Structure 1
Amino acid sequence: MFLRLFAPLVALAALALVATPAPAAVPGEDLWSEPLAPFKIADNLYYVGSKELTAFLIVTPKGDILLDGGVPKNGPMVLDNVRALGFDPHDIKILINSHAHFDHAGPFAMLKQATGAQMVISRGDAPVIESGGETDFFFHKRMFPPAKVDRVIDDGDTVSLGGVTLTAHITAGHTKGCTSWTLPVTVDGQAKQALFICSLTLLPGYRLTGDPGYPNLGADFARSIATLRAQRCDLFLASHGGFIDLLKKREAMLAGAKTNPFIDPAGCKAYIDHGEASLHRLEARGGQ
């Protein structure tokens, strides 16, 4: 389920290992920008991302919330997907993020300008968003247009609009401010909880200890696994489509699945288990 993600993530990590300006394109980026028709996941929750880089629209009576946007060039696609669902991008009032990498926060500057939305980012990732990636502990270079953060949040803080509330869970390690989100939703008349997992990927070159830019990465990553295990995960959602078998589940929905395929607590547990196993493998190699 997760293996096909490793090639583009390795390519992303490789950018940190060369002393050249960030390129306009990254190997695999075209796949990340391949369009996918938007669709409804739950009563007020919609998918508006590409085939691999997720973006979610949460609709409320007082305006909408957008979680993630993909790489920089995905911005217009996301807005087109919002329109295709019959919603007005100008109704997007809040932009939130899983983590401050170019393949998720890339179009935030454009999306903020196009919608007039307020940007709400975790304390650990806010400086990276505002520097366009230059202050990232690993990449150290501008990789997307900087965007102004309007509100900084910490673990347990909430984002509310129109009677809908998301809760932020700082699940650091992949980035210093990697943020997973919980959201109560209604699916087929039943109360469920969506868990949007940031990422449990340890990129090649990450060090669990000893990195002056992030000396406590390993401890944060272990804490994040425990945090995610403690969350109720009915709808399993995440920052990459491959993490959640997005295309397979979308196909099942189109085929008329009797139950919503995104209700997948077993898949959620398997993803967390996979992240923990990755941590243990790196620990066994001395953390590097």
Structure 2
Amino acid sequence: MIRRTYGISGAAVLWAAAFACPAAAQGQAPEPGNAPVKPFQVADGVWWVGASDVAAYLIQSNKGLILIDGGYESTAPQILDNIRRLGFDPAGQVKIILNSHAHVDHAGGLSALKAATGAKLYASAEDGRLMARGGKGDFFLGDKYAYPPVKPDRTLRDGQKVKLGERTLTARLTPGHTRGCTTWTFPVTVAGVERQAMILCSNTVLPGYRLTGQESYPGIAADFEKSYAVWRQAPCEVFLASHAMFFRAHEKAKSGRPDAFMDPEGCRAFFEKGYAGFKAILSRQQQAADR
């Protein structure tokens, strides 16, 4: 049984339980949070089109659509169906695909989505290389939980703008969870007022991550520190993330309020709780290494 938790431990609990299942033991990717759900609006022209916990976002512009994240390989048909439910044609209207990070639950469906839409795929350098290898060679997972490889069409730098029509999104590199984890910020309209939205990549320290002495990623702790500095300074009025559990997505959607996803206080509280958890894990690992 998985206890429903939020913050830095939520996804860690979910993945830890999933990786203990028989399929994971055989090297097959577990698929927690992949139940189909109907799309819902989070801001004007911005929708959740992902699964029950694994996120995907659709952003409308006057020049076409931007899709963020691809879920698992098996999530791709759900995402395409949700786009159609909103009245759009994925093949004719999705122009750009972006990614939060290149783990199997966010990049597994990118190859299929890219093929189905003909869209250009943009990614950070580090995670772009990882998705081009189909998730193999990950600093922590190694070659486990691979997925269909997909090569990005464009490599993004920290702070780079992605523009389509009147929409402008900013790529903010926030490594730690992966080497190229990318948090997205962009202006949206909520109840007639312009607000600043954030789609958090992930701040999760997965069970087994070594924040000290990690030979395959020696700078992981320093990267998490830098990422928390970015998250604290970045605009975050409409708080969104790569997992529904991080920001109580379905609870907010059910409220029916047009400003349900306006949550600047929740955003800041999430990062403060997450940072405290990160520092606690780091302290324990440093103490253990000193013994």
Given the two structures, how large is their TM-score scaled by the length of structure 2?
0.90
Contact (CA 8 Å) 1:39, 1:85: kept in 2 or not? Answer: no
What is the percent sequence identity of the aligned residues? Answer: 44
Change (3 A) 1:193 1:238: same
2:116 aligns with 114
Question: Where do residues 210-225 of structure 1 align in structure 2 (5 Å cutoff)?
Answer: 210-225=213-228
Quote the residue 2:54 is aligned against: 53
After superposition, where does 1:227-238 map in structure 2 within 5 Å?
A: 227-238=230-241
The aligned counterpart of 1:22 is 27
Aligned match of 2:100 in 93, 98, 119? 98
- SS for the counterpart of 2:126 is coil
For structure 2, the residue ranges without an aligned partner over 5 or more in a row are: none
Alignment partner, residue 250 of structure 2: 247
Aligned partner of 1:6 in structure 2 is 12
Q: Which residue of 2 aligns with 1:281?
A: 280
The question of 1:161 aligning with 2:167 is answered: no
CA distance in 2, matches of 1:39, 1:286: 41
Give the count of matched residue pairs: 277
Alpha-carbon distance, 1:210 to partner:
2.0
State the shift of 1:194 in Å.
Answer: 0.5
- Structure with bigger RCO (C-alpha 8 Å, 6+ apart): 2
In structure 1, distance between residues paired with 2:18 and 2:168: 33
Change (3 A) 1:286 1:135: same
Matched, 1:174 2:177: yes
1:138 corresponds to 2:145: no
Question: Quick one: structure 1 residues 198 and 12, their matched pair in 2 at CA, closer, same or farther if it must change by over 3 Å?
Answer: farther
Is the Cα contact below 8 Å between 1:120 and 1:149 reproduced in 2?
yes
TM-superposed CA distance for 1:52, in Å, is 0.5
1:81 aligns with 2:82: yes
Q: How big is each residue's C-alpha offset from its partner over 1:163-214, in whole Å with a ceiling of 9 and x where there is no partner?
A: 2110000010000000000011111110101001111100111112322211
Q: CA RMSD in A?
A: 1.8
Aligned residues of 2:11 and 2:204 also touching (Cα < 8 A): no
Q: TM-score, normalised by structure 1?
A: 0.91
Mapped contact 2:162–2:170 kept (Cα < 8 A): yes
Distance in 1, Cα, partners of 2:261 & 2:195 = 11
